[in-house]
């Protein structure tokens, strides 16, 4: 029911893509990139605008401004009232929403395909003509503060995640939460919001993704008449962010909160992301994540810690390769009743060490490979998911070709590729380990 979702570190998208889908691309004269994904099974269309700007592009001291602006995009423009955008979408039987991540901010509507032009007309209007009144800013600041309370302050694991990322990224903006630090959110006013909007909300910083029952030539014509008339932002900066220095010392943190009912230990390792023309390591890491912690029944951590021994209640691993800059690879263990966090962490390390010595079970590898292949078939049933994959990838430094190549890159991964990347990434010197517990004494 809530719109304006924050997309945290991992924006989960099916790992592979139905690349057999008919995809058309085009770039308008003002630099706006267009991707059209055809799916004619239903007279429905998803219309999305992705800005290549997220919270990691914010200037210092105004954390949360990207997400705040996302909320304010539903307020008044020069010709539309606050809230009118969503009202018009709803009056046309559609639904709309928006989300902000570290690397992108996206707006989408899902409507009958004959309403596409109306969506373009309104979306192009708010790309250029947002009013940003003082009154809207006052009220909406309260809403984002309530949102922070609801999403973060009332949830100890969300607080822990913030602390973890802040510890992982010493220099990069990924260490600052997308929603913002509370004290900076409280001070957000018109100035930084206006600056952020004026600089980044421009056609040459946007990707239009249209997916559904549409004719690509018509989409491009419509886009040209609505978005093509907007001026490009000449001063759009290169996306250069403060980069992480090499991590030389392992970091450890403990988050204690009496509301924690199930303690857990989690570790993140700095890891390479998918890069344009170079996705092989990321593909191998995708497998590594599945092998170590994908299935709670058949993964390395699941098997060793919940079946061979009863150290853990649950285990997991996580990796998302769609990221503009360096991402993380994570492993998590929640100890069983009576097992300390230290014992759980030791068992996790022992399992990983053993895996590094034993290598990969070829049967497990092939199981994962066929599931990745099958997910391409299942993904064809969800055109909105396909649209999201293109939007997230293209706003995170990847190209259409990279997205198309990804399934084949995944299928080509070998056991050797995975062990090589595992040896490189699973290095405790470039990791953060966090214990989350209800009391300072280890349970």
Partner 1 sequence: MIRFVLALCLSLSALSARAVTIDEVTSPGGISAWLVQAHEIPFVSLEISIRGGANLDEPGKRGAVNLMMALLEEGSGDMDARTFQEARESLAASYAFQTYDDTVSISASFLNENQDQAVDLLRQAVVTPRFDPDAIERVRAQVVANIQSEAQDPGSIAGDAFYAAAFAGHPYGSSLNGTLESVAALTRDDLLSAHANTLTRDRIYVGAVGDITPEQLGILLDHLLGDLPATGPALPDRVEFGLTGGVTVIDYPTPQSIALFGHSGIKRDAPDFFAAYILNHIFGGSGFDSRLMQEVREKRGLTYGIGTYLVPKDLSEMVLGSVASGNDTMAEAIGVIQDQWAQIATNGVTQEELDRAKTYITGEYPLRFDGNSEIASILVGMQMIDLPTDYVINRNDYINAVTLADINRVAAYLFKPDALHFTVVGQPEGLTTTP
- Residues near partner 1 (CB under 8 A) are 1-3, 41-44, 74, 82-83, 86-87, 90-95, 110-112, 138-147, 149-151, 153-154, 258-262, 295, 297-298, 303, 306-307, 310, 313-314, 334, 336-337, 363, 367-368, 370-371, 373-375, 377-378, 380-382, 384
Query: Between residues 145 and 209, which has the closer beta carbon with respect to partner 1?
Result: 145
Query: Between residues 92 and 204, which has the closer beta carbon with respect to partner 1?
Result: 92
Per DSSP (E only), the strands in 229-378 are 251-256, 264-271, 312-319, 327-335
Helix axes 190-200, 134-148, angle to 10 degrees: 90
The CB density around residue 374, as the number of other CB atoms within 10 Å, is 11
CA distances for 204 relative to 31, 172, 200, 399, 401, angstroms? 4, 25, 9, 15, 20
Query: Between residues 365 and 432, which has the closer beta carbon with respect to partner 1?
Result: 365
CA distance 395 to 291: 28
Output the CA angle 194-200-202, nearest 5 degrees: 110
Report in angstroms how near the CB of residue 372 gets to partner 1 at its nearest: 9
Report in angstroms how near the CB of residue 313 gets to partner 1 at its nearest: 6
Phi, psi of 33 (to 5 degrees): -90, 140
Nearest of 40, 306, 56 to residue 175 by alpha carbon:
56
> Reading across the β-sheet that carries 312-319, which strands appear in turn?
251-256, 431-437, 264-271, 327-335, 312-319
Report in angstroms how near the CB of residue 310 gets to partner 1 at its nearest: 8
Nearest of 112, 68, 432, 107 to residue 249 by alpha carbon:
432
Query: Between residues 146 and 278, which has the closer beta carbon with respect to partner 1?
Result: 146
Report in angstroms how near the CB of residue 113 gets to partner 1 at its nearest: 10
Looking from the CA of 14 toward its CB, the CA atoms found within 13 Å total 24
105-112 vs 95-100, strand pairing mode: antiparallel
CA distance 210 to 31: 17
Identified catalytic residue from 21, 38, 58, 70? 70
Percent of the chain as helix, strand, coil, to the nearest 5: 45, 20, 35
Report in angstroms how near the CB of residue 151 gets to partner 1 at its nearest: 8
CA distances for 146 relative to 68, 105, 106, 143, 186, angstroms? 12, 20, 21, 5, 11
Tokens of 433: 């380990």
Query: Between residues 20 and 423, which has the closer beta carbon with respect to partner 1?
Result: 20
> What string of DSSP letters covers 98-147?
EEE-SS-EEEEEEEEGGGHHHHHHHHHHHHH-B---HHHHHHHHHHHHHH
Do residues 54 and 224 touch, judged by C-beta distance below 8 A?
no
Tokens of 430: 């470039």
Query: Between residues 34 and 379, which has the closer beta carbon with respect to partner 1?
Result: 379
Active site residue 84: no
Report in angstroms how near the CB of residue 273 gets to partner 1 at its nearest: 26
Query: Between residues 31 and 181, which has the closer beta carbon with respect to partner 1?
Result: 181
Report in angstroms how near the CB of residue 162 gets to partner 1 at its nearest: 15
Report in angstroms how near the CB of residue 213 gets to partner 1 at its nearest: 9
Query: Between residues 81 and 250, which has the closer beta carbon with respect to partner 1?
Result: 81
Nearest of 255, 390, 241, 230 to residue 325 by alpha carbon:
241
Query: Between residues 138 and 217, which has the closer beta carbon with respect to partner 1?
Result: 138
Report in angstroms how near the CB of residue 31 gets to partner 1 at its nearest: 32
Active-site residues: which are they? Answer: 70
């Amino acid at each position: 029911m809530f719109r304006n979702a924050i997309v945290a570190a991992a924006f989960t998208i099916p790992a592979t893509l139905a690349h057999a889908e008919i995809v058309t691309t085009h770039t308008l004269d003002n630099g706006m990139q267009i991707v059209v994904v055809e799916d004619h099974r239903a007279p429905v269309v998803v219309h999305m605008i992705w800005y290549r700007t997220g919270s990691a592009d914010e200037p210092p001291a105004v954390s949360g401004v990207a997400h705040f602006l996302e909320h304010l995009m539903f307020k008044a423009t020069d010709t539309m009232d606050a809230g009118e955008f969503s009202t018009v979408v709803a009056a046309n039987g559609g639904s709309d929403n928006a989300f902000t991540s570290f690397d992108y901010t996206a707006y989408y509507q899902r409507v009958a395909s004959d309403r596409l032009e109306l969506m373009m007309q309104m979306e192009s209007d708010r790309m250029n003509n947002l009013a940003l009144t003082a009154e809207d800013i006052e009220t909406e600041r309260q809403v984002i503060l309530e949102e922070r309370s609801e999403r973060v302050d009332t949830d100890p694991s969300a607080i822990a995640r913030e602390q973890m990322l802040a510890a992982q990224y010493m220099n990069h903006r990924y260490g600052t939460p997308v929603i913002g630090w509370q004290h900076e959110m409280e001070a957000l006013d018109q100035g930084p919001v206006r600056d952020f909007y004026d600089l980044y909300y421009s056609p040459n910083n946007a990707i239009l993704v249209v997916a559904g029952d549409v004719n690509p030539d018509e989409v491009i014509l419509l886009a040209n008449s609505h978005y093509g008339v907007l001026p490009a932002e000449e001063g759009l900066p290169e996306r250069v962010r403060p980069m992480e220095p090499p991590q030389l010392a392992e970091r450890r943190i403990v988050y204690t909160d009496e509301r924690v009912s199930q303690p857990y230990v989690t570790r993140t390792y700095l890891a390479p992301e998918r890069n344009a023309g170079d996705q092989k390591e990321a593909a191998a890491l995708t497998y590594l994540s599945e092998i170590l912690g994908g299935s709670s029944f058949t993964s390395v951590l699941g098997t060793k810690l919940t079946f061979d021994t009863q150290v853990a209640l649950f285990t997991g691993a996580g990796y998302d390769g769609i990221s503009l800059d360096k991402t993380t690879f994570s492993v998590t263990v929640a100890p069983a009743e009576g097992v300390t966090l230290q014992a759980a962490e030791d068992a996790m390390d022992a399992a990983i060490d053993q895996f590094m010595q034993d290598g990969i079970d070829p049967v497990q590898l092939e199981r994962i490979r066929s599931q990745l292949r099958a997910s391409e078939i299942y993904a064809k049933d969800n055109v909105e998911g396909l649209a999201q994959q293109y939007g997230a990838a293209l706003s995170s430094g990847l190209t259409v070709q990279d997205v198309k190549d990804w399934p084949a890159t995944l299928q080509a991964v070998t056991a050797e590729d995975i062990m090589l990347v595992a040896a490189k990434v699973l290095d405790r010197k470039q990791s953060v380990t966090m214990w989350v517990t209800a009391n300072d004494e280890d349970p």
